[in-house]
A = this chain, B = another copy of it.
Amino acid sequence: MRIEAVDFFYLAMPEITTDADGSQDALLVRVRAGGHEGFGECEASPLTSIAAFVAPMSHGICRPVGASVLGQTIDGPEDIARIASLVERDSMDLLQAAHTWSGVEMALWDLIGKARGEPVWRLLGYPTAFPKTPYASLLFGNDAQQTLERARDAIAQGFRAAKFGWADFGATTLDRDVDHLAAAREGLGPDGMLLVDVGQIWVEDVERAALRLPALETFGALWLEEPFLASAYEAYGELARRSTKVRLAGGEGAHNFHMARHLIDYGGIGYVQIDCGRIGGIGPAKRVADYATRRGVTYVNHTFTSHLALSASLQPFAGLQADHICEYPAAPRVLCVDMTTNHLHPDANGEIMLSEAPGLGMEVNLPALGRYLVDAEIKIGGQTLYATPAL
């Protein structure tokens, strides 16, 4: 098969807010080859990722992603790896390339899986896909009472774990943060898993982070996520050494395998969180999962958009029974719900499972997406490099 077409659909809610909610827009990718098609999703800034696919070449190692993809042979996973190496080399100086390629790479796995009638996790070498325990990704409330209610709601919805984050946690006083942690624990009950995400709030400041460790331990937080900038390995390592029970989590900012590996090796994290829409797709994410297993670190997906992206992000660790926690976008914008006709709903045990369906196992609902489709156009020298395709 040859890659005949790669189409990008830029989807957005009518209004985008400054909430740290990644489900407000999406960049859906469709790849066609040999009568088959596959879908993937880039994360985030759709316009910039489209530009990185169509931009004119700057020089030999700053070619657009499209130059390494269109017309390539695609018969199996080894072709995906080969094209990934091409992108890595020929788009070396194009920073956005990793995000653009991520969505294309997922779509190629989906396409090959459909062509072979196999789920992607089996193509990755896993004989079995194990159930995962989803946690609800939530924002801390504006006050502790709201945090309490959100925690209770999550449990009422059947979640056994919830992650709270953002909303100024870590940015003001220790007392305020302690109140929110106490409220979250109260709402989740003694058995609910509590996870905390602070979104790089402390930049590189280990002392401010360490101030919160006792309360995190008191209220039984399983992990503290992204205390620092994604690349501040020294700060991660120092905080990890100071913590007795709470493990650090991070990795969503990794845009290649090495960055994730370094958070493990130098940052001392206990949970590595990979977004397949950023790291270069499913292939490098599987490499992180293998590495994490060897290092005794737990792999977790990072997903805040559609169930297409969720399925893609679950594939790399589908066969790792012990790594059973997964991020689950609990309250996405309707755009991300509408993207697929089927969804990965928790079962009676509160667990989600990837199916045996071919590829990523998700049915993209193109006709439903018209209302979200953004009309975008990029022209150079009067020539149209990109125009929103028809659904």
Q: Does A2 contact B (CB under 8 A)?
A: no
Q: Is the interface of A mostly helix, strand, loop or mixed?
A: loop
Q: Which B residues are in CB contact (< 8 Å) with A255?
A: 95
A68 to nearest B CB, angstroms? 12
Task: Report the stretch among A86-94, A110-118, A211-219 that lies at the interface.
Answer: A86-94
**A257 CB, nearest partner CB in chain B, Å:** 8
Whether A232 is near chain B, meaning CB under 8 Å from some CB there, is yes
Annotate A95-108 by CB proximity to B: 1 below 8 A, 0 otherwise. 11011000000000
Selected contact of A58 from candidates B24, B96, B256, CB within 8 Å: B24
- A 350-381 to B, binary, CB cutoff 8 A, 1 in contact else 0: 00000000000000000000000011111111
For A19, A60, A94, A256, the residue with the greatest tally of chain B CB atoms inside 10 Å of its CB is A60
CB neighbours of A99 from chain B (8 A): 95
Judge if A121 is at the interface, Cβ distance under 8 Å. Answer: no
CB distance from A8 to the nearest CB of B (A): 13
B58 touches A94 (CB 8 A): no
When each residue 42-82 of chain A gets 1 if its CB lies under 8 Å from chain B and 0 otherwise, what string results?
Answer: 01111110111011111111111000000000000000000
* Contact, CB under 8 Å: B381 / A374: yes
A331: Cβ under 8 A from any B Cβ: no
Q: Name the B residues within 8 Å of A50 (CB-CB).
A: 51
Contact with B along A106-140 (1 / 0, CB 8 A): 00000000000000000000000000000000000
Decide if A186 is an interface residue (CB 8 Å cutoff): no
Tell me the minimal C-beta distance from A95 to chain B in angstroms.
Answer: 5
> With an 8 A cutoff between CB atoms, is A229 at the interface?
yes
In the assembled complex, A346 has its CB within 8 A of some CB on chain B = no
Please, which residues of chain B bring their CB within 8 A of the CB of A85? 203
Residue of B45, B51, B88, B232 near A62 (CB, 8 A) is B45
With A22-B59, A379-B376, A380-B376 in contact, is A96–B200 under 8 Å at CB?
no
**CA A195 to CA B93, docked complex, whole Å:** 21
B17, B48, B62, B278: the one contacting A52 at CB < 8 Å is B48
For residue A64, which residues in chain B have a CB less than 8 angstroms away from its CB? 45
Contact between A231 and B259, CB atoms less than 8 A apart: yes
A151 to chain B: closest CB distance in Å? 22
Residues of B within 8 A of A98 (CB): 95
Beta-carbon nearest neighbor of A381 in chain B: B375
Task: List the B residue with the shortest CB-CB distance to A25.
Answer: B58
A231 to B256, CA, bound (A): 8
A297-B189 Cα distance, complex, nearest whole Å: 53
The smallest C-beta distance from A67 to any residue of chain B, in angstroms, reads 10
Instruction: Tell me the smallest distance from the CB of A303 to a CB of chain B, in Å.
Output: 13
Q: How far is the CB of A189 from chain B (nearest CB, A)?
A: 30
Q: Tell whether A35 is near chain B: CB-to-CB under 8 Å.
A: no
Contact B95 A16 (CB under 8 A): no
Is A158's beta carbon under 8 Å from chain B?
no
Closest to A47 in B: B55
Of B21, B56, B232, B278, which contacts A258 at CB under 8 A? B232
A170: min CB distance to chain B, Å: 13
Q: Is the CB of B200 within 8 A of A59?
A: no
